[in-house]
């Protein structure tokens, strides 16, 4: 038994694949339109389908009859053209399918859907306007959107038999019509003035000839029209898929901006927000740098004070030298009971060195440093008087343990060591002073940070606000870009499926 495999032309297959995809995405409406197009392509029906649309009573049905020179179509003052009826027109150059539609002003949603379906199937559109309603918004908007979709479009001003010469020159009337179209940026491939009644101004035959031209180029017209419809369906499908998310993002943009911006101005707005944010960030950083620089200057001035404090002048250094020399192994005092005497001498030298050093440390380092800090707290506007209580917390311990800890037994024998030893002891004391100072300053800076933050609060609030607005805009833009990328991807896949041969489809 042979399995029967339906062999489709790749273009038909491309449409069927796309249809399946739309159906899977839950877009039944688009899927059925694609099925319709696929059927037509498969049937090899290259007769161009021309939809006649326009406001109710513009004369669409009458015009189709007049073109086809038949009276088979019902015409009348009520919208009788409910279901879209089509009529085969066999002209000298070939065949066209003329599709009648209900009016675009139809309040019946079923009529509206029929018209949209007809427009989708249409390879070309004849937009019929009656003599008195050329300026109707519905007509102009429809013309706009059809051109945007890349539809071939003819504009027809019908019922020109109503023109009364003594009211207005006909050429003046035409000029006004053309002006209106220009004002709406509507450029189509043909504009005709017609009447289904006898009128010197009627260009009905010219219109028919234009349609005959379309019939002559049937293959091109039908095929190009079909792929344009497919492209438009992809676009519509994408828009409906993304609409909830995009709308939501847009509502957020409106909410955070407090007004509805013009979508065209969004990139400029985003740029402005980014610049404003950068300016605010600069302001904040400048302020923070200022604060940091001021604090560092204060710290440096006290460090310098510690560095310069003279706590070991000549006499003190001498005492240190005498002490450390007494630690040498060959140091001895007396001969009878020399061990005790030597010990006593060492202890005495150490005590004198420590006492001298402690007194000078207090007098020339600790007291001046604490006084300077008190003075600084009192005279600095942003310092807190409560900080004065922290100053006594800076303590310098100068005792026997400290001077012993600095002795380097291996170096004791060297002649130059005693002076180095005193320097080491002084450095150990100053390290305590640096530590004490740093601790106090850190406590103060921490306390002052609250005031700095408070001062920066307005600029930071502004930055947050700008960031929120920027994020909302970026989010919306991202979704729009994603939507475009998705539509492009789907369309590229259609073209790949169709294995080329789909040329000249306006983006």
Per CB under 6 A, residues contacting ligand GDP are 56-62, 75-77, 79, 81, 103, 158-159, 161-162, 195-197
Contact (Cβ atoms closer than 8 angstroms) between residue 419 and residue 317: yes
Helices 266-308, 417-497: crossing angle, 10 deg rounding: 170
326 binds, among Mg ion, ligand GDP, none (CB under 5 to 8 A by kind): none
- Supply the minimum distance, in Å, between the C-beta of residue 214 and ligand GDP: 21
Closer by beta carbon to Mg ion, 61 or else 432: 61
268 binds, among ligand GDP, Mg ion, none (CB under 5 to 8 A by kind): none
CA atoms of 261 and 245, how far apart (whole Å) = 18
- Supply the minimum distance, in Å, between the C-beta of residue 175 and Mg ion: 29
Closer by beta carbon to ligand GDP, 174 or else 467: 174
432 binds, among ligand GDP, Mg ion, none (CB under 5 to 8 A by kind): none
CA atoms of 201 and 195, how far apart (whole Å) = 8
Element (H, E) at 158: strand 152-158
Q: CB within 8 A of 157, min separation 6: which ones?
A: 129, 130, 131, 134, 177, 191, 192, 193, 194
Tokens coding 331:
């140091």
Closer by beta carbon to ligand GDP, 76 or else 217: 76
Residues between 312 and 371 that touch Mg ion (CB under 5 A): none
CA atoms of 103 and 79, how far apart (whole Å) = 7
Name the pairing type of β-strands 152-158 and 190-193.
Answer: parallel
57 binds, among Mg ion, ligand GDP, none (CB under 5 to 8 A by kind): ligand GDP
- Supply the minimum distance, in Å, between the C-beta of residue 74 and Mg ion: 8
103 binds, among Mg ion, ligand GDP, none (CB under 5 to 8 A by kind): ligand GDP
Closer by beta carbon to ligand GDP, 196 or else 326: 196
Closer by beta carbon to Mg ion, 61 or else 196: 61
Closer by beta carbon to ligand GDP, 58 or else 354: 58
CA 451 vs. chain centroid, Å, equals 34
- Supply the minimum distance, in Å, between the C-beta of residue 61 and ligand GDP: 3
Residues between 57 and 116 that touch Mg ion (CB under 5 A): 60-61, 81
- Supply the minimum distance, in Å, between the C-beta of residue 94 and ligand GDP: 25
Tokens coding 83:
């279901």
17 binds, among ligand GDP, Mg ion, none (CB under 5 to 8 A by kind): none
- Supply the minimum distance, in Å, between the C-beta of residue 59 and Mg ion: 8
Q: CB neighbours (10 Å) of residue 175?
A: 11
Closer by beta carbon to ligand GDP, 183 or else 200: 200
Closer by beta carbon to ligand GDP, 71 or else 397: 71
6 binds, among ligand GDP, Mg ion, none (CB under 5 to 8 A by kind): none
Beta bridge partners of 155: 127, 191
Helices 10-24, 417-497: crossing angle, 10 deg rounding: 120
Tokens coding 379:
């005279």
Residue nearest to ligand GDP according to CB distances in the complex: 59
Phi and psi at residue 501, to the nearest 5°: 80, 0
- Sign (positive/negative) of CA torsion 233, 237, 242, 243? positive
CA atoms of 152 and 226, how far apart (whole Å) = 11
Contact (Cβ atoms closer than 8 angstroms) between residue 55 and residue 130: yes
Largest CA distance in the chain: 156
- Supply the minimum distance, in Å, between the C-beta of residue 113 and Mg ion: 17
Tokens coding 293:
């620089």
- Supply the minimum distance, in Å, between the C-beta of residue 493 and ligand GDP: 40
Closer by beta carbon to ligand GDP, 59 or else 124: 59
- Supply the minimum distance, in Å, between the C-beta of residue 126 and ligand GDP: 11
Q: Which residues bind Mg ion (CB under 5 A)?
A: 60-61, 81
């Amino acid at each position: 038994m042979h399995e029967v495999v339906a062999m489709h032309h790749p273009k038909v297959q491309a449409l069927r694949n796309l249809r399946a995809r739309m159906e899977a995405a839950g877009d039944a409406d688009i899927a059925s339109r694609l099925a319709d197009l696929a059927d037509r392509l498969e049937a090899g029906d290259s007769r161009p389908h021309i939809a006649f649309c326009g406001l109710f009573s513009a004369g669409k049905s009458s015009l189709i009859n007049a073109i086809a020179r038949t009276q088979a179509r019902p015409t009348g003052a009520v919208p009788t053209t409910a279901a879209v009826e089509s009529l085969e027109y066999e002209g000298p150059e070939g065949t066209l399918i003329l599709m009648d539609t209900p009016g675009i002003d139809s309040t019946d949603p079923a009529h509206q859907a029929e018209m949209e379906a007809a427009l989708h199937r249409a390879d070309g559109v004849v937009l019929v306007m009656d003599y008195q309603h050329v300026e109707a918004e519905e007509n102009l908007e429809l013309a706009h959107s059809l051109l945007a979709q890349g539809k071939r479009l003819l504009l027809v001003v019908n019922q020109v038999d109503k023109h009364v010469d003594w009211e207005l020159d006909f050429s003046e009337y035409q000029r006004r019509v053309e002006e209106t179209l220009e004002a709406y940026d509507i450029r189509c491939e043909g504009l005709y003035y017609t009447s289904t009644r006898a009128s010197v101004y009627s260009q009905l035959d010219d219109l028919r000839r234009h349609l005959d031209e379309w019939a002559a180029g049937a293959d091109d017209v039908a095929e190009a029209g079909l792929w344009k419809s497919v492209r438009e369906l992809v676009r519509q499908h994408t828009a409906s898929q993304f609409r909830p998310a995009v709308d939501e993002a847009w509502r957020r943009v409106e909410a955070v901006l407090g007004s509805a911006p013009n979508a065209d101005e969004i990139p400029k707005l985003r740029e402005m927000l980014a610049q404003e944010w950068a300016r605010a960030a600069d302001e904040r950083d400048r302020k923070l740098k200022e604060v940091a620089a001021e604090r560092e200057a204060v710290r440096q001035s006290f460090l310098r004070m510690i560095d310069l404090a003279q706590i070991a002048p000549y006499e003190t250094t001498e005492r240190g030298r005498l002490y450390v020399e007494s630690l040498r192994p060959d140091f001895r005092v007396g001969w009878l009971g020399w061990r005790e005497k030597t010990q006593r001498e060492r202890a005495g030298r150490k005590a004198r060195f420590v006492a001298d050093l402690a007194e000078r440390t207090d007098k020339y380092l600790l007291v001046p440093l604490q006084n300077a800090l008190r003075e600084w707290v009192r005279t600095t506007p942003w310092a807190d008087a409560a900080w004065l209580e922290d100053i006594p917390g800076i303590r310098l311990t100068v005792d026997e343990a400290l001077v012993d800890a600095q002795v380097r037994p291996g170096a004791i024998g060297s002649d130059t060591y005693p002076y180095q030893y005193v320097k080491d002891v002084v450095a150990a004391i100053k390290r305590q002073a640096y530590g004490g100072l740093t601790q106090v300053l850190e406590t103060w800076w921490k306390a002052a940070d609250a005031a700095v933050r408070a001062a920066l609060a307005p600029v930071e609030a502004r930055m947050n606000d700008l960031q929120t607005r920027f994020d909302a805009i970026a989010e919306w833009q991202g979704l729009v870009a994603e939507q475009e990328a998705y539509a492009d991807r789907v369309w590229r896949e259609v073209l790949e499926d169709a294995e080329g041969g789909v040329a000249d489809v306006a983006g």
